[in-house]
């Protein structure tokens, strides 16, 4: 079998990892296939021997995978897509279901996240340190629960399984990003370096493996963002009919042109000790550590508030009842708005620090040839610190009465532009000089800043024990498996929120030594985005506050207390037990095998928050009230689930396999959805409203049906088609509870403004809620083949082709009107196509890979009639390599060149209709040149 039956038997029951494919040449000699071709053939062999539906990526040895992170390798598998963060694959979707519904394990143990939720960021795992990655499409009863979409199992190397007594690998690659030079203070160059050692000692009873990988690279992106188009008349948005068709037209909230620039560093290490002192006793201890540091600045320009005031619209362009172009001239509102169309300079620090470490031990003992007991213990912790600080600069003009904001003076600011759908806009003019910070004649002044740092931690302890009883081959039963698992998980978020607009003495002139000039290039410059000033954020904070309380500390610490109404802690304990029967018999003369089992899971979840004195001072120069003013409140619930899992396999021939599966699965809510922290407001009429999390949420639940046919071309290829249907009994959406009792939930509504009269005890409350009734279905095609039967030199050719079609339908309540909206699941692309063509012969290798996905609904906080949609995208990567052959003095050396994102494919979104631009973002191409040496 492929993956671990459970954490405790992760090392005891897996089939041996293929160690390269051996073939016989015409003269009877053995040819050992290595490189990418060996990885493909090993993956095919592992898929064939599995006892459930799975797709696999293997490396011929550690450091054998060509991608920067394991996420990029996974995204080439059937039905798997990725979402790019910083230009690289990070989050993984499986079968159209989002990253929230994907679970992940490392060496059979559940992994925590640094995202502040359960979502695993797979770019934390360098491909150099991963020996195998598998996507489980169907579960076993013995698998850890969680993951309606599927489960990703990552494996590091096992040194005793290595054919050599000693092996070492060194990998070094330089890199270059062709967009990094657009951002000031950002180098275009970086590097990847890794090394690993595997050794077998004490007569091959003790194995040791150590590995280290470091990535240093620019993190850059150039982005145009069109803010949303509110539905006219909702949430106070204005109503205007520009084209006289009798229907109000939507006015957008403005746009921005942004450059992300900085650098990121990822350090990761593994350590493995494998000890087998006898045929009966096996001990495996493994650890993994990753540290990710991203220093990124978000800088650019912004045009805001076309919908505010009484702005003048000249030659407006309307599409689908939305304003998508024309000339807008600032007019101060007589309707109560104090400002009209405005402009801003954007300078934000979005740096973060992530750290992840996990360690575990597995002890297995064979009491006999038929009875095995295994115990597994693991601990994992992930932490993250997000800086999230910024400054605001707006244009001011000198008047006889002093400085005055330019957007408060009619006619002074204007913009003339035209949106072009999923292409960059045409900006004909913007009536602000974004490079001007000279106080002598007006210009941009500092008049506000914000500091909202966030610290997250995710900690997990788990222990499991498994018992396997095997039967002789003549028996219908192959094995009985029983197990129990306990897990204690805690998620913690601490947030400080200080918005400091209207700082004392503002507006403040910015000294020239804090300013640099920047600009756009290429298509963004051709679109009309102008140059802009970049202001040092730390210098601006010191300018406003000095170094009061160390407001911006370089040690990622905060010198004042956390804003407690935004902070929370999630506690979760799970108890799980399972029984599984493995069988192997004949049906109509054909081999019939598989497994039937069930898993019972009890989950106890709660959220603890601290409600505080409402008189928090919103100023970083003044600390909030003391800790004594807190009142802890804990809310939560317990739920139980029985999860059957049936996998039936019929070997139609020695080349053809038919698989069928039924299972029931759950995915637990995100930590942020479970939070007990809320925000409550009381109106002048005494009505109470609030928003927050929901500790009483039930998990996602689904009944799943799978059918798969696989045809194998010996060891060299596979054709497979898989169909699936997922009946979603319960899912999580954002909705409103109209009659929520605040007092019964330990919350005292604030008083009516200007009085001491408390607000109504019962009011509306918006939060995540459980929906019911929905489905996802689809079909996947896979064809992988190395064409070894072709005459030379074409026998080095190979292809990997897969296509997936997915469809879903769920009912969401509108965040604006309350009406029901039927939409596919966020993150689901109907069409996914991943072709790879490669050639390996006599040491020479070439590979061209493409990842294509069709449009999909973007994950968003609240669904409304205006749906943010991500457009289709096609990402291409290429690699050339040469491996020095046996007999060469350079044997063991491999040279390679790579290009990631060959066409600089942007990510693009739109609001409801393709004419209403959302975001257009380019990350640039990344070029690698380097070598790997193995000895």
Q: What is the pLDDT of residues 312-365, one digit of tens each?
A: 899 999 998 889 999 999 987 544 445 688 999 999 999 999 999 999 999 999
Give the mean model confidence (pLDDT) for residues 731-756: 83
Q: Is 614 within a domain? A: no
pLDDT at 13: 41
Give the mean model confidence (pLDDT) for residues 417-434: 93
Among all chains, which residue has been given the structure tokens 């999923």? 422
Q: Is 877 within a domain? A: yes
Structure tokens at 843: 């040491």
440 pLDDT exceeds 80? no
Q: Is 143 within a domain? A: yes
* Among 121-130, 200-209, 231-240, 652-661, the least confident range: 231-240
**Of 634 and 326, which is predicted with more confidence?**
326
pLDDT at 618: 37
SS3 624: coil
Residues 6+ apart with CB under 8 A from 748: 742, 758
pLDDT at 861: 44
Q: Is 146 within a domain? A: yes
Angle value at C-alpha 68, between 73 and 151, nearest 5 degrees:
35
Give the total residue count for the chain: 935
pLDDT at 426: 96
pLDDT at 567: 80
Per-residue pLDDT reduced to its tens digit, 660-669: 999 999 999 9
Per-residue pLDDT reduced to its tens digit, 780-805: 999 999 998 999 999 999 999 999 99
pLDDT at 1: 32
Query: For the chain, how many helices (H) and strands (E)?
Result: 5, 51
How many folded domains does the chain comprise?
Answer: 1
**Strand segments (E) across 276-351:** 281-304, 312-319, 322-329, 342-349
pLDDT at 29: 38
Q: CA–CA separation, 638 vs 447, rounded Å?
A: 49
Give the mean model confidence (pLDDT) for residues 850-858: 90
Q: How confident is the model at residue 627 (pLDDT cuts 50, 70, 90)?
A: very low
Q: Is 610 within a domain? A: no
Contact status, residue 395 vs residue 432, Cβ threshold 8 Å: yes
Q: Tell me which residue of 562, 567, 680 sits closest to 627, measured CA to CA.
A: 562
- For 133, other C-beta atoms within 10 Å of its C-beta total 25
Cis status, amide bond into 59, omega within 30 of 0: no
SS3 127: helix
pLDDT at 407: 87
**Of 666 and 863, which is predicted with more confidence?**
666
**Of 222 and 62, which is predicted with more confidence?**
222
Q: Is 605 within a domain? A: no
Q: Tell me which residue of 216, 213, 174, 266 sits closest to 927, measured CA to CA.
A: 174
5 pLDDT exceeds 60? no
pLDDT at 623: 41
Q: Is 621 within a domain? A: no
244 pLDDT exceeds 80? yes
**Of 547 and 708, which is predicted with more confidence?**
708
pLDDT at 836: 93
pTM attached to this predicted model: 0.87
pLDDT at 500: 56
pLDDT at 20: 42
615 pLDDT exceeds 60? no
In DSSP notation, 653-714 reads SSSEEEEEEEEEEEEPPPHHHH---EEEEE-TTS-EEEEE--TTPPPEEEEEEEEEEEEE-T
Give the mean model confidence (pLDDT) for residues 100-104: 90
Q: CA–CA separation, 101 vs 94, rounded Å?
A: 8
Dmax over CA atoms of the chain, in Å, equals 101
Q: How confident is the model at residue 900 (pLDDT cuts 50, 70, 90)?
A: very high
Query: Can you give the CATH number for the domain in which 758 is found?
Result: 2.40.170.20
Q: How confident is the model at residue 860 (pLDDT cuts 50, 70, 90)?
A: low
pLDDT at 865: 54
Domain region containing 908: 7-600+629-792+799-934
Give the mean model confidence (pLDDT) for residues 723-732: 92
Q: Is 1 within a domain? A: no
pLDDT at 66: 61
Per-residue pLDDT reduced to its tens digit, 137-157: 999 999 999 999 999 999 998
């Amino acid at each position: 079998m492929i993956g671990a039956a459970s954490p405790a038997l992760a090392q005891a029951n897996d089939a041996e990892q293929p160690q390269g494919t051996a073939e016989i040449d015409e003269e009877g000699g053995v040819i050992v296939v290595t490189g990418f071709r060996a990885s493909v053939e090993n993956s095919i062999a592992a898929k064939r021997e599995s006892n459930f539906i799975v797709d696999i990526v293997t490396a011929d040895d550690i450091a054998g995978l060509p991608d920067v992170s394991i996420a990029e390798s996974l995204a080439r598998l059937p039905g798997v897509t990725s979402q790019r963060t910083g230009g690289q694959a990070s989050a993984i979707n499986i079968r159209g279901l989002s990253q929230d519904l994907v679970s992940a394990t490392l060496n059979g143990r559940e992994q925590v996240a640094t995202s502040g939720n359960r979502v695993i960021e797979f770019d934390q795992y360098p491909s150099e340190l991963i020996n195998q990655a598998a996507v489980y499409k169907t579960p076993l009863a013995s698998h850890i629960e969680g993951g309606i979409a599927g489960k990703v199992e990552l494996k590091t190397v096992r040194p005793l399984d290595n054919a050599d007594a000693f092996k070492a690998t060194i990998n070094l690659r330089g890199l270059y990003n062709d967009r990094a030079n657009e951002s000031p203070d950002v180098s275009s160059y970086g590097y990847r370096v890794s090394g690993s050692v595997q050794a077998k000692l004490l007569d091959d009873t003790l194995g040791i493996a150590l590995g280290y990988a470091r990535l240093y690279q620019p993190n850059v992106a150039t982005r145009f963002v069109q803010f949303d188009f509110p539905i006219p008349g909702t949430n106070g948005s204005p109503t205007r009919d520009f084209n006289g068709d009798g229907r109000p037209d939507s006015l957008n909230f403005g746009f921005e042109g942004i450059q992300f620039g900085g650098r990121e560093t990822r350090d990761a290490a593994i350590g493995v000790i494998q000890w087998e002192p006898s045929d009966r006793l096996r001990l495996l201890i493994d650890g993994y550590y990753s540290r990710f540091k991203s220093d990124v600045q978000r800088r650019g320009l912004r045009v805001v508030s076309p919908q505010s005031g009484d702005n003048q619209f000249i030659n407006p362009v309307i599409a689908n009842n939305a304003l998508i172009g024309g000339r807008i001239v600032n007019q101060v509102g007589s309707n109560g708005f104090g400002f009209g169309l405005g402009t801003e300079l954007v300078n934000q620090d979005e740096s973060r620090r992530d750290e992840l470490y996990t360690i575990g031990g597995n002890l297995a003992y064979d009491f006999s040839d038929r009875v095995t007991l295994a115990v597994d213990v693991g601990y994992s912790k992930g932490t993250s610190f997000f800086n999230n600080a910024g400054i605001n600069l707006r244009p001011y003009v000198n008047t006889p009465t002093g400085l005055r904001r330019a957007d408060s003076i009619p006619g002074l600011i204007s913009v003339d532009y035209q949106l072009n759908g999923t292409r960059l806009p045409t900006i004909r003019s913007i009536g602000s000089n974004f490079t001007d910070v000279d106080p002598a004649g007006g210009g941009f002044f500092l008049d506000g800043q914000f500091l909202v740092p966030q610290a997250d931690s995710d900690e997990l302890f788990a222990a499991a024990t498994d018992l396997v009883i095997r039967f002789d081959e003549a028996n219908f039963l192959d094995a009985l498996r029983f197990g129990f698992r306990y897990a204690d998980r805690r998620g913690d978020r601490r947030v400080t929120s200080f918005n400091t607009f209207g700082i004392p003495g503002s507006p403040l002139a910015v000294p020239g030594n804090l300013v640099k000039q920047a600009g756009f290039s290429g298509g963004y410059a051709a679109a009309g985005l102008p140059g802009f000033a970049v202001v040092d954020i730390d210098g601006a904070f010191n300018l406003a506050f000095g170094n009061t309380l160390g407001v911006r500390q370089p040690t990622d610490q905060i010198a004042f207390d956390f804003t407690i109404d935004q902070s929370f802690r999630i506690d979760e304990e799970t108890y799980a037990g399972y029984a599984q029967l493995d069988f192997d018999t004949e049906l109509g003369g054909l081999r019939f095998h598989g497994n039937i089992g069930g898993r019972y899971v009890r989950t106890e979840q709660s959220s603890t928050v601290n409600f505080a004195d409402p008189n928090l001072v919103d100023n970083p120069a003044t600390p909030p009230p003391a800790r004594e003013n807190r009142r802890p409140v804990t809310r939560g619930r317990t739920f139980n689930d029985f999860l059957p899992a049936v996998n039936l396999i019929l070997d139609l021939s020695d080349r053809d396999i038919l698989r069928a599966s039924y299972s029931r699965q759950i995915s637990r809510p995100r930590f942020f959805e479970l939070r007990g922290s809320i925000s409550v407001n009381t109106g002048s009429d005494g009505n109470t409203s609030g928003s927050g999390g929901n500790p009483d949420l039930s998990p996602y639940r689904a009944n799943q049906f799978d059918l798969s046919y696989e045809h194998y071309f010996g060891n060299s290829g596979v054709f497979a088609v898989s169909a699936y249907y997922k009946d979603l009994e319960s899912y999580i959406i954002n909705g409103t509870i109209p009659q929520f009792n605040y007092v019964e939930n330990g919350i005292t509504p604030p008083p009516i403004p200007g009085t001491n009269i408390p607000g109504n005890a019962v009011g509306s409350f918006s939060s995540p809620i459980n929906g019911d009734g929905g489905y996802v279905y689809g079909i996947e095609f896979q064809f992988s083949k190395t064409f070894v039967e072709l005459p030379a030199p074409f026998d080095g050719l190979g292809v990997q082709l897969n296509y997936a079609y997915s469809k879903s339908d769920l009912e969401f309540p509108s965040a604006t009107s309350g009406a029901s909206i039927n939409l596919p699941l966020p993150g689901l692309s109907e069409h996914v196509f991943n072709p790879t063509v490669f050639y390996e012969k006599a040491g020479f290798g070439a590979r061209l890979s493409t990842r294509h996905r069709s449009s999909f609904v973007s994950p968003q906080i609240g669904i409304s009639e205006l749906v943010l949609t991500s457009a289709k995208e096609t990402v291409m990567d290429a690699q050339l390599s040469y491996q020095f052959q046996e007999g060469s003095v350079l044997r063991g050396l491999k040279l390679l060149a790579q290009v990631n994102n060959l066409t600089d494919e942007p990510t693009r979104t739109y609001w409801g209709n393709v004419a209403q631009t959302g975001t257009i973002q380019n990350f640039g191409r990344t070029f690698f040149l380097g070598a790997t040496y193995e000895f």
